[in-house]
Amino acid sequence: MDSPRLAVIGLGYVGLPLVQEATRRGLRVTGFDVSNAVVDGLNGGHSHVDDISDESVAAMLATGFSASTSPAVLRDADVVVICVPTPLADDRGPDLEAVRAAAAAVRDHLVPGQLVVLESTTYPGTTEEVLIPILEESGLEVGRDINVAFSPERIDPGNDTYTLRNTPKVVGGFTPACTQRAEEFYSLVVDTVVVAKGLKEAELTKLLENTYRHVNIALVNELSQFCHLLGIDLWDAIRCAATKPFGFAPFTPGPGVGGHCIPIDPNYLSHRVRTHLGQPFRFVELAQEVNAAMPDYVARRAQDLLNDVSRSIRGSRVGLLGITYKANISDQRESPARDVATALIRLGADVSFHDPLVADWKLPSAEVRRVPTLAEAIAGSDLVILLQAHSEYLDPALAWDTTPVLDTRGVLRGSAVAHL
Ligand SMILES: NC(=O)c1ccc[n+]([C@@H]2O[C@H](COP(=O)([O-])OP(=O)(O)OC[C@H]3O[C@@H](n4cnc5c(N)ncnc54)[C@H](O)[C@@H]3O)[C@@H](O)[C@H]2O)c1
């Protein structure tokens, strides 16, 4: 039997690695994306995703993959996987506009026998309450004419050890037959498939994972503030606690949480609990409060460190090192660096940044000057703040013993370094 034809909707950080892995495994793949820039770039051999090189895109194209802005390509697929963004709306609740638009595109080209999978992170109930009703407007019935499943994406940008292929993939379908179909499909692409009881359990899996991270990051972030006042080195305590072979997973403090997942996904869960049960999800809301306050805390620590060298923060030159949301990744989405810079500017600091992965950086209210080299960033600042531990900053040959440094990642050593 021929391998199934796959269509991926949304060719970003999640969709493109799926295309890559599926083409490697011999599947015939097409992509649909609403962005002309993304489609033209990919068809021209250019990747816009950190973990995927231009050579990898060329390898995908060589298998017959092409991207299109026309949803008509969906008609030729046996399996359609939706990987579109699920951001927050202005009220910090779920914004499912892209999921609805993608669902409508599938509906308009739906063919009996297709398997449709939603991978976008969302609250439990979305597949059944949002996706399926739109698909059934076609007149086809889910479970009878077509199959529908949810499979959370667990991709970790920049992680070379755990990739799409060797990270177990969870699937849950609308009916047992839908689940089985999804299990069979993903078994062609990844090493291990884990079957959830149903759609909602698969949807919750992703939110549970990210809420767990969000809450534990908040725990160490709050603790770091107390430890600073108590004169205890939290980083050292975490290092020691992490030697326990069971019952403890280490999390480290930082300037806040960033990226498309951790700051956003728990909102999807707490919004669901609040709107359906009328109750606050207290752990999530407390974690949000603590993590959201970290950029201001970083700015206050910067103020204290400048005070220690008899400088006022007003007019001082503060250089930010690494402004993306994650080390060695160029993605700036939801990066706490934005709020750190805003807080510093509000206090009157003259803020600049260095980041080997970012060419220019605009805040809603200001443009922050880019300093081209690390040496200039250090020499030209009264204080530098390490926000992201890009590998360039970890060069053991670097001496951090002149300009005061606030290291929010606990990775630098030197006489001028203070840790968060
Ligand atoms: N980035 C991650 O590390 C990560 C990890 C796990 C899960 N997720 C989840 O995966 C989903 C996708 O995230 P991403 O990081 O890949 O986003 P992305 O912004 O990198 O890519 C999404 C792509 O979808 C396209 N798109 C938007 N609306 C569309 C539509 N209606 N039809 C077709 N294409 C459309 C966009 O043009 C874009 O190219 C989100 O729900 C996210 O929460 C992301």
The domain that holds 344 is classified in CATH as: 3.40.50.720
Torsion sign (Cα): 37, 39, 45, 47: positive
- CB-ligand 1 contact for 86 (6 Å cutoff): yes
Which atom of ligand 1 is nearest the CA belonging to 261? 43
Q: Is residue 380 assigned to a domain? A: yes
- CB-ligand 1 contact for 102 (6 Å cutoff): yes
In 3D, which of 327, 318, 273, 265 has the Cα closest to residue 291?
Answer: 265
Both 89 and 192 in a single domain? yes
In 3D, which of 303, 311, 318 has the Cα closest to residue 352?
Answer: 318
Both 47 and 165 in a single domain? yes
Residue with CA closest to ligand 1 atom 10 = 120
Both 47 and 189 in a single domain? yes
Both 27 and 166 in a single domain? yes
Residues in Cβ contact with 115 at an 8 Å cutoff, skipping those fewer than 6 apart: 78, 79, 80, 146, 147, 148, 149, 178, 181, 182, 185
Q: Which of 153, 269, 333 to mutate to test the pocket of ligand 1 (most atoms within 8 A of CB)?
A: 153
CA pair distance 299, 69, nearest whole angstrom: 44
Residue with CA closest to ligand 1 atom 25 = 10
Residue with CA closest to ligand 1 atom 41 = 120
Q: Is residue 96 assigned to a domain? A: yes
Residues in Cβ contact with 396 at an 8 Å cutoff, skipping those fewer than 6 apart: none
Residue with CA closest to ligand 1 atom 36 = 10
- CB-ligand 1 contact for 260 (6 Å cutoff): yes
Which atom of ligand 1 is nearest the CA belonging to 264? 43
- Give the Å distance between the CA of 10 and the centre of ligand 1: 6
- Give the Å distance between the CA of 267 and the centre of ligand 1: 17
What DSSP assignment string belongs to 212-277?
A: HHHHHHHHHHHHHHHHHHHT--HHHHHHHHTT-SSS-------S---SSSTTTHHHHHHHHHHHHH
- Give the Å distance between the CA of 335 and the centre of ligand 1: 17
Q: Is residue 373 assigned to a domain? A: yes
Which atom of ligand 1 is nearest the CA belonging to 49? 20
Structure tokens, 32:
């649909």
b/e code 294-329 from CB counts within 10 Å (16+ = b) = bbbbbbebbbebbeeeebebeebbbbbbbbbbbbbb
Both 317 and 178 in a single domain? no
Displacement of CA 295 from its chain's centroid (Å):
19
- Give the Å distance between the CA of 32 and the centre of ligand 1: 12
- Give the Å distance between the CA of 120 and the centre of ligand 1: 7
Residue 357 main-chain phi, psi, to 5 deg: -105, 0
Residue-by-residue pLDDT tens, the chain, 420 positions: 578 999 999 999 999 999 999 999 999 999 999 999 999 999 999 999 988 999 999 999 999 999 999 999 999 999 999 999 999 898 888 999 999 999 999 999 999 999 999 999 999 999 999 999 999 999 999 999 999 999 999 988 888 899 999 999 999 999 999 999 999 999 999 999 999 999 999 999 999 999 999 999 999 999 999 999 999 999 999 999 999 999 999 999 999 998 888 888 888 999 999 999 999 999 999 999 999 999 999 999 999 999 999 999 999 999 999 999 999 999 888 899 999 999 999 999 999 999 999 998 988 777 799 999 999 999 999 999 999 999 999 999 999 999 999 999 999 999 999 999
CA pair distance 36, 22, nearest whole angstrom: 23
Q: Judge whether 261 counts as a catalytic residue.
A: yes
Torsion sign (Cα): 77, 83, 84, 86: positive
CA dihedral 402, 404, 409, 412 (to 10 degrees): 20
Q: Quote the number of domains for the chain.
A: 2
Range of the domain at 90: 5-199
Return the ∠ at Cα 176 (arms to 132 and 19), rounded to 5°.
65
- As beta bridge partners, residue 79 has 6, 115
Give me Rg for the CA atoms of the chain.
23
Structure tokens, 402:
């002149």
- CB-ligand 1 contact for 7 (6 Å cutoff): no
Both 195 and 325 in a single domain? no
Residue with CA closest to ligand 1 atom 28 = 98
Structure tokens, 56:
């990898």
Residues in Cβ contact with 89 at an 8 Å cutoff, skipping those fewer than 6 apart: 95
Which atom of ligand 1 is nearest the CA belonging to 84? 24
Which atom of ligand 1 is nearest the CA belonging to 13? 16
Q: Is residue 211 assigned to a domain? A: no
- Give the Å distance between the CA of 99 and the centre of ligand 1: 10
Q: Is residue 363 assigned to a domain? A: yes
> In 10 A of CB 64, how many CB atoms?
10
Domain-ending residue, one of 176, 199, 222: 199
Structure tokens, 117:
């999978």
Residue 167 main-chain phi, psi, to 5 deg: -95, 120
Both 60 and 188 in a single domain? yes
Both 178 and 319 in a single domain? no
Domain-ending residue, one of 174, 199, 224: 199
> In 10 A of CB 155, how many CB atoms?
22
Q: Which of 13, 19, 35 to mutate to test the pocket of ligand 1 (most atoms within 8 A of CB)?
A: 13
Q: Is residue 76 assigned to a domain? A: yes
Both 29 and 177 in a single domain? yes
Return the ∠ at Cα 73 (arms to 72 and 75), rounded to 5°.
75
Q: Is residue 289 assigned to a domain? A: no
Both 38 and 186 in a single domain? yes
- CB-ligand 1 contact for 12 (6 Å cutoff): yes
Structure tokens, 259:
């990226």
- Give the Å distance between the CA of 379 and the centre of ligand 1: 39
CA pair distance 235, 250, nearest whole angstrom: 10
Q: Is residue 258 assigned to a domain? A: no
- CB-ligand 1 contact for 202 (6 Å cutoff): no
Both 171 and 63 in a single domain? yes
Whether residue 344 contacts residue 366, with contact meaning beta carbons closer than 8 Å, is answered with: no
Domain-ending residue, one of 139, 167, 199: 199
b/e code 101-133 from CB counts within 10 Å (16+ = b) = ebbebbbebbbeebbbbbbbbbbbebbbebbbe
